[in-house]
Amino acid sequence: MPRVVEYALGALAGTHMTMAGTDYTASLDQYVIDHVLGWYDRGLLLVLRASVRKGDESFPSVTPLVPCADWYEREVKESLGLTPVGHPNPRKLLLSDDWPDDLFPMRKDFKSEAPPPLRRDAGFTFTAPEDAAMFNIVPYGPYHFAIHEPIFFRFHVDGERIAGVDLRAGFNHRGLEKIAETRMTYETVPFIAERVCGICGSVHAEAYTQALERAAGFEPPERAKWIRVAVLEMERIHSHLLWLGVASHMVGFDTGLMQFWRVRDRIMFLAELLTGNRKQYGMIVPGGVRRDIREDKRETALREVSTILEEYEELLDAALRLGTLKARLEGVGPLTEAEARRHSVMGPLARASGVSMDARRDYPYEAYGQLEFETPVREEGDVLARTIVRAYDTFESIKLVKQALEGLPGGPVHAPIEYIPPDVASVGLVEGPRGTDVHYLITGGEDTVYRWRVRAPTYANLPVAPIMLKGQTLADASVIIGSIDPCISCAERVIVVDEASGKQRLVSGEELRGWRA
């Protein structure tokens, strides 16, 4: 498997989309590992499957040849107990360091009703460069004013220059995949899929629904496809404007923050007008959409879209003419095209480094194949290029909402899916604001999924943060990390370091409650 994956991604110039490990020990006495590879320029997908025998629980690691497999293999190790032999850094990723080493939550026999017995002898593990003694250590996170969700970077610095970076994520693994497989039905999974991300809820609902409908060989009504496009693009605009405002704030341009968010509030109003909610729309479900768009609301929405386009164009022109963004962001946090391809990064991060990819264009779904839009691409690979890509991508999304509402066909918005065959593997690809969201689905029986693997673009993009940070200054760290637009879940554990001895330990929930008392 390692050589095959390396050849597909290297010599054949493919992209690593996701990897999923699945427990088939009850029926086939084995586990399976599926690598999903894609070729955007051809609109192709390929699934490579490897079997791991029960009782062996090991497989040759792909990571030494394909570095973007790093996180996937570490997750399989901790969630299924399958050891990637030869992995260069097989420490825990998503589960806490005090999680028992012999308890694997994605195995089918794991019961999630009760909390597991946690280890009391666990420490918080780091990696460091060989010459670490030459540098000072600067912690960044897990709580930091510039990154509004928990993640931990450990910078090895020489003066103000970052010489090395260790990244720790996974401070809170919510177990959504396990919940979907054990407690939910096909029809209700979209509502928990929307909770994967607070910004891109509809993207995840669409990716799951798309995979399920493909597994069933089902085609939703035409009107539902156009409404889905309108919903997805409103969410995309909302996300980009949110990011542009935060980026402005990070570089001291608070007028930009206020103005981008003022326009963003118009999008929130538009979303509420058409869906009933400013966020978490609950619109995309298997079979179509839950709500239709009335004609009077469509006309109001079209007028609002025209106003948004006019105001955004004026605002963006003023922001770019000021020169503040260029002076602060140009040349910062570079990522070469070669590294972007090598690590299979997604979305604006890839497109700003010269990689032209867009699932809406390359793997057309819903009504995107009938609409006109462009995919902005830059070659500089720095934070300024990522900003410009998102800025002009917002223009395209505003135009797409307008096209979707103007061309909205008649007919029903929902139809029942009569039959979903079991044991069918399917992939849902949706171009979210941060990049391609990939949902890998294996259907089960009795109205439940057998395996649901969610891969958000941050999962693919965040591992390259140390590459972009190395050699940069501490002052630029926040804006470099922010340029990924990372989506990170909430934290549920902390670390205490004894200043005198330097020893670290994990703090239990009981101890925290004692402090509060």
- With respect to residue 48, please indicate whether it lies within any of the assigned structural domains: no
Token pair belonging to 472: 């940069």
Q: How far apart are CA 269 and CA 304, in angstroms?
A: 9
List helix spans (H) across 60-119: 70-80
Under 8 Å between Cβ of 355 and 338 = no
Q: How far apart are CA 251 and CA 26, in angstroms?
A: 55
Which residues does 296 contact at the CB level (< 8 Å), separation at least 6? none
Under 8 Å between Cβ of 473 and 162 = yes
Closest to 22 (Cα-Cα) out of 443, 384, 410? 443
Residue that finishes a domain, picked among 405, 428, 455 = 455
Beta strand spans in 14-74 (E): 15-23, 30-39, 44-53, 58-60
| DSSP H or E segment with residue 204 | helix 201-216
- The answer to whether residues 300 and 394 belong to one domain is yes
- With respect to residue 122, please indicate whether it lies within any of the assigned structural domains: no
pLDDT of res. 222: 97
- The answer to whether residues 365 and 381 belong to one domain is yes
Calculate the alpha carbon distances from 498 to 84, 138, 151, 167, 504 in Å: 34, 16, 21, 21, 6
Under 8 Å between Cβ of 142 and 507 = no
Token pair belonging to 271: 């979303």
Token pair belonging to 197: 């991300």
- With respect to residue 83, please indicate whether it lies within any of the assigned structural domains: no
Any idea which residue has 């991508």 for tokens? 393
Q: How far apart are CA 474 and CA 162, in angstroms?
A: 6
List per-residue pLDDT tens for the chain, 517 residues long: 889 999 999 999 999 999 999 999 999 999 999 999 999 999 999 999 999 999 899 999 999 999 999 999 999 999 999 999 999 988 888 877 778 888 898 999 888 766 677 666 655 666 666 666 678 888 887 666 666 677 788 888 888 899 888 887 776 667 788 888 888 999 999 999 988 887 888 999 999 999 999 999 999 999 999 999 999 999 999 999 998 998 888 888 888 889 999 999 999 999 999 998 888 788 999 999 999 999 999 999 999 999 999 999 998 888 888 777 788 889 999 999 999 999 999 999 999 999 999 999 999 999 999 999 999 999 999 999 999 999 999 999 999 999 999 999 999 999 999 999 999 999 999 999 999 999 999 999 889 999 999 999 999 999 999 999 999 999 888 889 888 887 765 333 333 334 455 555 555 555 545 544 4
Q: How far apart are CA 346 and CA 514, in angstroms?
A: 44
- With respect to residue 391, please indicate whether it lies within any of the assigned structural domains: yes
pLDDT of res. 497: 39
Under 8 Å between Cβ of 438 and 428 = yes
- The answer to whether residues 291 and 338 belong to one domain is yes
Domain count, the chain: 2
- The answer to whether residues 258 and 330 belong to one domain is yes
| DSSP H or E segment with residue 437 | strand 435-443
CB atoms under 10 Å from CB of 366, counted, come to 24
pLDDT of res. 44: 94
> Do β-strands 83-85 and 58-60 pair in parallel, antiparallel, or remain unpaired?
parallel
CATH number at residue 263: 1.10.645.10
CB atoms under 10 Å from CB of 169, counted, come to 23
- The answer to whether residues 469 and 447 belong to one domain is no
Q: How far apart are CA 486 and CA 472, in angstroms?
A: 19
CA angle 33-34-35, nearest 5°? 120
Rg of the chain on CA atoms, in Å: 23
Provide the residue range defining the domain that includes 389.
176-455
- The answer to whether residues 245 and 382 belong to one domain is yes
Rounded to 5 degrees, φ, ψ at 429 are -120, 125
Q: Whole-model pTM?
A: 0.90
- With respect to residue 338, please indicate whether it lies within any of the assigned structural domains: yes
- The answer to whether residues 251 and 284 belong to one domain is yes
Any idea which residue has 């591992």 for tokens? 463
CB atoms under 10 Å from CB of 182, counted, come to 15
- The answer to whether residues 259 and 147 belong to one domain is no
3-class DSSP assignment, residue 311? helix
| DSSP H or E segment with residue 153 | strand 152-158
CATH number at residue 506: 3.30.390
Any idea which residue has 């005090």 for tokens? 98
> Do β-strands 449-455 and 435-443 pair in parallel, antiparallel, or remain unpaired?
antiparallel
- The answer to whether residues 449 and 495 belong to one domain is no
Under 8 Å between Cβ of 154 and 137 = yes
Residue that finishes a domain, picked among 455, 490, 508 = 455
Token pair belonging to 248: 């402005």
pLDDT of res. 512: 47
Under 8 Å between Cβ of 420 and 435 = no
Euclidean distance between the first and final Cα of the chain, in Å? 54
- The answer to whether residues 164 and 181 belong to one domain is no
Residue that finishes a domain, picked among 427, 455, 483 = 455
- The answer to whether residues 407 and 467 belong to one domain is no
- The answer to whether residues 133 and 215 belong to one domain is no
- With respect to residue 375, please indicate whether it lies within any of the assigned structural domains: yes
- With respect to residue 433, please indicate whether it lies within any of the assigned structural domains: yes
- With respect to residue 244, please indicate whether it lies within any of the assigned structural domains: yes
